[in-house]
Amino acid sequence: MEIYHNKEKGFITVWLTNEEQKQYNLERITNLLLKNSDNPKCKVVFFLSGHEDLYSNTEGLLLANLKNV
């Protein structure tokens, strides 16, 4: 798990692997992080690992974006 607090923009990012997603309760993590934040409008953003192939998904995303140009 990686946690980054961007005080200037008012958010905390949390990066979780598939295994960590099974181990931790996201609501509990959110509550703990916000409890320790000095900004009442702070937001918590989670980035969760997926279960599919990263390279083929990235390729598909890039190709879809090129079609929209």
Q: Are 3 and 33 in contact (CB under 8 A)?
A: yes
In angstroms, the CA 38 to CA 66 distance is: 42
Q: Which two tokens stand for residue 14?
A: 């949390």
pLDDT of residue 11: 94
In angstroms, the CA 27 to CA 24 distance is: 9
Question: Dihedral sign, CA of 15, 19, 20, 21?
Answer: positive
In angstroms, the CA 4 to CA 69 distance is: 33
Residue 68 reports pLDDT greater than 90:
no
- List, for residues 15-47, the tens digit of each pLDDT value: 999 999 999 999 999 999 999 888 889 999 999
User: Could you state, in order of their start, the residue ranges of all structural domains in the chain?
Assistant: 2-67
- pTM higher than the cut 0.85: no
